[in-house]
Amino acid sequence: MPAARDPAQAGEQETTPRFISVVGAGQMGSGIAQVAAMSGYPVLMHDLDPGQLDRGRTRIRASLDRFIKSGRMDQAAAQAALDRIQTTTRLDEAADHADFIFENVPEILELKQEVFTQLDRIAPPHAVLATNTSQLSPTAIGRDVGRRDRVLAMHWFNPPPIMKLIEVIRALETSDDTVGRSVRLASSMGKDVVICQKDSPGFIVTRLLLAQRAEALRLLDEGIASVADIDRAIELALNHPMGPFKLADQTGLDTALRNMEYLAAEYGGRFRPTATLRNMVQVGRLGRKSGRGFYGYQP
């Protein structure tokens, strides 16, 4: 196990964690492990699949190389970050020393509940269990654990080493102390946070994103403006880097449709997907990944 990070040396309060665990080493988990290691934390990265641990490490190495090439990091710092990450297929090994655990297994409620129940048994009593769910309820994910005051969601954005924001979502019984520890940890890793005070579908970011997307789809279906003009209006007048249709093509229109249906079920008509979006998904125009969505793409 690598040496614990010394919060005093980093000029931080004693309550920042000394050991971090990441459960699930896919796209997000490996990115979060990288961010934590780049910030000086020893990290244990766990996955059931050893191949995923290898691929996670390869992704981290490639990302660190890009940091070096762009002059944002030197070789020694990148190597030190890599050395801080250990991997294991055993959950008990990953969690029994951890002060803070980031769960990144697939977006399936029963799976996340099971992982939380196991973590509750293994992790030290003071450890915080944070889920990186995109849209499930952190209250439901932590339903069966004893330490419900130390459960919350920390929703990262992809790719974690680049994206600046973490959305912190309180579960029903999350304590102020847990929120404080999470905010301090995020800040020690160079991230900004927004706090969603109530566990509610779509949290903050997804609700804002889909509200704009729903209105853009209505403008299109009403024949008021073209795809390109709606995107340009948002990019040039509202200063977003990417319009709603370009972004939806990138996310995948099947995912975009599912997300809208999920929020429509909760909040009603204002999030209802339009006929155009449904039809496009029907015929397999799914965006960038299928070569055609609102725009055409070269293979």
- Residues within window 6-65 making contact with ligand NAD, judged by CB under 6 A: 23-29, 46-49, 52
The distance from CA 82 to its chain's CA centroid, rounded to whole angstroms, is 21
Smallest distance from the beta carbon of 241 to ligand NAD, in angstroms?
17
Which amino acid appears at position 184 of this protein? R
Q: Which of 35, 38, 98, 105 binds ligand NAD (CB under 6 A)?
A: 105
- The tokens for 139 are 């209250």
- Residues within window 110-129 making contact with ligand NAD, judged by CB under 6 A: 111, 115
How far from 91 is each of 83, 99, 220, 245, CA to CA, in Å? 20, 14, 49, 41
State the pairing for strand pair 43-46/85-88: parallel
Q: Which of 134, 174, 259, 274 binds ligand NAD (CB under 6 A)?
A: 134
Nearer CB in complex with ligand NAD: 5/191: 191
Secondary structure letter of residue 7 according to DSSP: T
Smallest distance from the beta carbon of 162 to ligand NAD, in angstroms?
12
State the pairing for strand pair 128-131/85-88: unpaired
Do 167 and 135 form a contact (C-beta atoms < 8 A)?
A: no
Size of the site for ligand NAD (CB under 6 A): 23
Comparing C-alpha atoms, which of 279, 234, 229, 277 is closest to residue 256? 277
Smallest distance from the beta carbon of 89 to ligand NAD, in angstroms?
9
Nearer CB in complex with ligand NAD: 17/24: 24
Nearer CB in complex with ligand NAD: 100/156: 156
Q: Does 158 bind ligand NAD (CB under 6 A)?
A: yes
Nearer CB in complex with ligand NAD: 24/142: 24
How far from 204 is each of 121, 208, 239, 269, CA to CA, in Å? 31, 6, 19, 18
Distance CA 7, CA 270 (A): 46
Smallest distance from the beta carbon of 2 to ligand NAD, in angstroms?
21
Smallest distance from the beta carbon of 51 to ligand NAD, in angstroms?
8
Contacts to ligand NAD by CB under 6 A:
23-29, 46-49, 52, 104-107, 111, 115, 132-134, 156, 158
